[in-house]
Chains A and B, each alone.
Chain A
Amino acid sequence: MAGDSRFYRTEMEALARSFGLDFYPVEFEVVPPSFMTEVAVYGLPVRMPHWSFGVRYIHQLVQHKMGHSRIFEVVYPGDPGHAFLANNNSDVDNTLVCAHVLGHADFSKNNELFRRVHKQVGTRIVDMAAHHARRIEQAIEHHGQEHVERVLDAALSLEQHIDINQSLSRARYSESEEDAEESLLNTFARRFVALAGNKEKEKSDQEEHSRTPIPPHPEQDLLWFIAQYGPEMEDWERDIFLAVREESFYFYPVFACQIMNEGWASYWHARLLREASFLPQDLYLDAMKTHSDVVRPTAGDKQIALNINPYHLGFSIWDRLIEAEGVEKARTIMQSEDDFGFVRNYLESDLADELNIFVYDANKNGEIKVTNNEIHQLHEAILSRKFNFGAPRVQVTEMGVDGALELKHESDVDGRGLDTERAKKVIDYIHRVWRRPVSMRTLDANGKETTLETGKAAA
């Protein structure tokens, strides 16, 4: 095929395998830049319609016009993998991108988190999302745009609130699980009430037969919980919640391994280009120039950046690791870690110094001050945005007998309360599908305990 020779795909694949890279075949598709813009917004080539994507789309277009971003490729892991190349890429770009994509394909086939998730969501992510989109289009036809939007408003706003350690097809709380918890409590309770002279004895006897609490323990898998236990939801509404959850499962490893994964792909595109004897000399030089643009730590001619380029950081860590420990050891790390382990274990202080990474404080008054470059603080500052899928920790604590839903924000773990105005709006979204009272405990701006609620009858 004409396209092959233009970016040496066959040769590049052979070379990659000779270095031990192990990947499923990749299908390359050449697409217009507008398509790349949309993929950047939606995360997937075809995805369910929602007005909020429209807002992001306009922002992306504006940014694109201002020249802030250019997307060379997007790759979807799977068997086969699927890579999209922008049709305004030069042959040089595509040679580099081809090598880069093979790095990603190796990573997603072998990294533990990716493997675990792909075992659940399957290896045809693009098809899965298209299927969801189609189902939602059908729902719009049957139930009307407003109604479907109401469900999506809630589901998509809880996108990050899943429990990645649970299975995708997680069943409702089993009786035995509930029984187990209860019997544990009851053993103690029985012995306690059996004590002579206990006034609560009668009361407890009655309570023994009361219903098991739902959830039996605080539940962070909000999308699942609402889909399973929403007291008045229709089946198709539950399906939408589960569809959004499935896509979140897919997005999680991409999010949680971004530094490692981009670094790995960048390391391998640089290495493969360097070792590729089949490349003409001038193409190699041009490609390395593109490479240094991609992994450049600071944008444009700025000397200092207020964020970290994950390509650059990941590339630098891998580069040093492989030099010191060899490819085999690096592959083991690539297979078992995510960004948390990767950054904490392998970003060492001499490298951080070399890279000039620092922690800063951005004050409300506009002042930005470098605070320190101590390595542990650096680790935590880099990772702070990645905890819990980047969202505050919110759990279901109780579902009342009347179906009222009680949520709690773990303010103590997150260090402060929620933006209450926004949280109230999310509660409103949830209430419109939960259809019974919904409440949420968090801290207000002054650090005082507060409860936001919707749907409670006025006292």
Chain B
Amino acid sequence: MSSDSRHQSAIVQSARWYDLFSRGARDWLRHNEKVRDSVKKSLPELVSGPDVLTNPENRTVRVPVKFLEHYRFRLSDSDSQTGVGQGQGAKPGDVLRPADVGGQGDGGAGTGEGGLEFVLEFKVDDILDWLWEELELPNLEPKTADSIENSEYVREGIDRRGPRARLDRRRTVKEAVKRRAVQANPIPFTDDDLRFRQLARRPQPLTQAAIIFILDVSSSMDDASRQLAKSFFFWALQGIRRQHTRIETAFIGHTVKAWEFSEEEFFSVRASGGTEASVAFDLSLEIINERFDPSRYNVYVFYASDGDNFAADREVSQLRLKELSGICSFMGYVETVGRTGTGLNTEMGRLFKELAAGDAPTGSFPIGGQEDVWKAIRRFFTHQARQEAEA
């Protein structure tokens, strides 16, 4: 019966081709890539949650995402689904599972694969790249300046003449060896062998920036407003970081007085009292004079407030703002308004409007909710890019 050789089966010991790659893993990675793409399309939600402003360790944002579903034609869910089961003692009328109290269960009708969530981690730099793409912004070049203070001597090339101090012994010997190799009766060294290092004066790129964040910490600024301001601050900082290799920061909170804080304190500090913004602008000027020489730093000032300011403080504020705008690269004003926002028609809003009318580099961003953060960032980055293009 088994003499027919055709019926002799063979056992093939594994050829191991399947050890070389995993099809499942390949398709899973592709799935994740697609999830990233779809997350990328929902950037506005993505930019709303980061917690730490300046900590370089924390350069990622974690986003919970759903599995993608590959859709098929499916019947609509009916109120009840019929199934077949098996087991002892189940008689017609028996309830195998009671109804959920006060809620919808999944009714045994599996919710499919769409229900599961997992977390993807996104690099802040990637998100910024996407923002740039999305906004169709030109690539920002690192800022450079040609002023003498920023230039520096750098080594550049080799010459046959130069001061003795810059004699390059190694190259000189090399030249001598080369010469001696082709000469009949060589002498150890000639003047022609000498090589000197040359220096050139080069402008150094001005890559330093300083950012001063000012927050109105009076009692009218609630947690939600602070969170909105913080989101905006975060992304503004990331945008500026693209142009500058080194960034210094300062955090100022104010009521009728102003204090400098550490970053951690900054967002949690709470004070009572009225609002006089001029004191914070004063302190900013002081800090700039002491630490951020405008000839060496691009200085950015961001101010977040609900827009209230004592009328008595108007003139002083106006003056200080003008003074600041004269030395700053940019001044941003973030007004955290309620849903029925006043549209920058506040005391502070008007001051910045005047400033902008006077051609100062400034921008005002009313923010009522997370979606406004996105719009504000968009406007800020667009403004940055335009400035760059004009420069």
Contact residues of A with B, CB < 8 Å? Answer: 1, 3-4, 9-10, 13-14, 17-18, 25-32, 34-35, 37-38, 41-42, 45-47, 49-61, 80, 87, 145, 153, 156-161, 297-298, 302-309, 312, 355-373, 378, 381-382, 384, 391-392, 394, 409, 414-420, 422-423, 425-426, 429, 443-445
Tell me if B108 counts as interface (CB < 8 A to partner A): yes
Residue pair B87, A298 in contact (C-beta under 8 Å): yes
Candidates B19, B24, B31; contact of A41 at CB < 8 Å? B24
CB neighbours (8 Å) of B91 from chain A are 358, 370
Assign chain B's interface to a size class.
Answer: 35 or more
A304 touches B88 (CB 8 A): yes
- Beyond A357-B85, A364-B77, A365-B99, whether A9 also contacts B11 by CB under 8 A is yes
B68 adjacent to chain A (CB < 8 Å) = yes
Q: Which residues of B contact A156 (CB under 8 A)?
A: 70
Chain B residues within 8 Å of A373, by CB: 92
Within 8 A of A (CB), among B3-58: 6-15, 18-19, 22-32, 34
Q: Is B98 an interface residue (CB 8 A)?
A: yes
**Cβ-closest 5 pairs across A and B:** A366-B105, A304-B87, A54-B27, A57-B24, A54-B28
- How far apart sit A32 and B100, CA to CA, in the bound complex (Å)? 43
Q: Jot down 18 A-B pairs with beta carbons below 8 A, ordered by A.
A: A10-B2, A14-B2, A25-B6, A28-B11, A29-B13, A42-B24, A51-B34, A51-B68, A51-B70, A54-B32, A58-B28, A307-B83, A308-B84, A362-B83, A367-B98, A378-B84, A394-B73, A418-B76
Contact between B27 and A49, CB atoms less than 8 A apart = yes
Q: Is the CB of B14 within 8 A of A31?
A: yes
Measured between alpha carbons, how far is A9 from B11 in the docked complex, in Å? 10
Bound Cα distance from A418 to B78, whole angstroms = 10
B268 at the interface (CB under 8 A from A): no
Binary per-residue interface labels of chain B (159-173) against chain A in the complex, 1 for a CB within 8 Å, 0 otherwise: 000000000000000
User: B86 contacts which chain A residues (CB < 8 A)?
Assistant: 297-298, 304-305, 307-309, 312, 355-358
B67 contacts partner chain A, Cβ-Cβ < 8 Å: yes
A13 touches B27 (CB 8 A): no
B23 and A42 form a contact (CB under 8 A):
yes
The reply to whether A28 and B113 form a contact with Cβ atoms under 8 Å apart is no
Report the Cα distance A417→B209, complex, angstroms: 62
- Interface residues of B, Cβ cutoff 8 Å to A: 1-2, 6-15, 18-19, 22-32, 34, 67-100, 103-109, 113, 116
Scoring A30, A53, A384 by chain B CB atoms within 10 A of each residue's CB, the highest score goes to: A53
Which B residues are in CB contact (< 8 Å) with A304? 85-90, 96
In the docked arrangement, what's the CA distance between A167 and B72, Å? 24
In the complex, are the beta carbons of A306 and B85 less than 8 A apart? Answer: yes
A247 to B25, CA, bound (A): 22
Compute how far the CA of A41 lies from the CA of B78 in the bound complex, rounded to whole angstroms.
28
| Other-chain contact of B97, A35, A50, A368 (Cβ < 8 Å) | A368
Nearest opposing residue in chain A for B26, CB measure = A49
Q: Is there an interface contact between A366 and B98, defined as CB atoms closer than 8 Å?
A: yes
B104 and A364: CB pair below 8 A?
yes
- Asked if residues B84 and A419 are in contact (CB atoms below 8 Å), the reply is no
Which residue, B6, B82, B93, B98, has most C-beta atoms of chain A within 10 A? Answer: B82
Q: When the two chains form their complex, are residues A420 and B14 in contact, meaning their CB atoms are under 8 A apart? A: no
For B84, what are the chain A residues with a Cβ–Cβ distance below 8 Å? 307-308, 357-360, 378, 381-382
How far does the alpha carbon of A37 sit from the alpha carbon of B84 in the complex, in Å?
27
Please tell me if the beta carbons of A392 and B30 are within 8 angstroms of each other in the complex. Answer: no
Closest to B18 in A: A35
Contact B87 A297 (CB under 8 A): yes
Contacting pair A366 B100 (CB below 8 A): yes
Q: Are A37 and B27 in contact (CB under 8 A)?
A: no
B95 and A53 within 8 A (CB): no
For the complex formed, measure the closest distance between the CB of A20 and the CB atoms of chain B, giving whole angstroms: 12
Q: How far is the CA of A1 from the CA of B8 in the complex (A)?
A: 12
Which residues of chain B have C-beta atoms less than 8 A from A47's C-beta? 23
A27 to B11, Cβ gap below 8 A?
A: yes
Residues of B near A365 (CB, < 8 A) are: 99-100, 104-105, 107
- Rounded to whole Å, the gap between the CB of A148 and the closest CB of chain B is 11
State in angstroms the CA–CA spacing of A37 and B68 once bound together.
21
Chain B residue numbers with a CB within 8 Å of A392 are 73-75
Whether A391 and B107, one on each chain, are in contact in the complex, defined by CB atoms closer than 8 angstroms, is no
Q: Which residue of B lies closest to A306 (CB)?
A: B85
B85 contacts A426, CB within 8 Å? no
Q: A131 → chain B, closest Cβ, in Å?
A: 15
Of the residues A80, A158, A363, A369, contact of B79 by C-beta under 8 Å: A363
In the assembled complex, how far is the CB of residue A45 from the closest CB belonging to chain B, in whole angstroms? 7
Bound CA span A382–B92, Å: 17
A370 touches B99 (CB 8 A): no
Q: Known contacts being A49-B27, A365-B99, is A30 close to B1, with CB within 8 Å?
A: no
- A377 to B78 CA separation, bound complex (whole angstroms): 18
Q: Which residues of A contact B96 (CB under 8 A)?
A: 304, 306, 360, 368-370
Asked whether B97 lies within 8 Å of A419 as measured between CB atoms, the reply is no
* A440: nearest chain-B partner, CB-CB: B73
- Write the chain A residue with the least CB distance to B4: A25
Q: Contacts A53-B23, A359-B83 given; indicate if A367 touches B72 (C-beta within 8 A).
A: no
Bound together, the chains give a CA A31 to CA B18 distance in angstroms of 9
Pick from A157, A361, A384: contact of B70, CB below 8 A.
A157
Shortest distance from the beta carbon of B71 to any chain A beta carbon, whole Å: 4
The answer, among A3, A26, A34, A59, for a CB contact under 8 Å with B22, is A34
CB <8 Å contact, A49 and B30: yes
Q: How far is the CB of B288 from chain A (nearest CB, A)?
A: 50
Which chain A residues border B28 with CB–CB below 8 Å?
54-55, 57-58
Q: A53–B27 contact, CB under 8 A?
A: yes
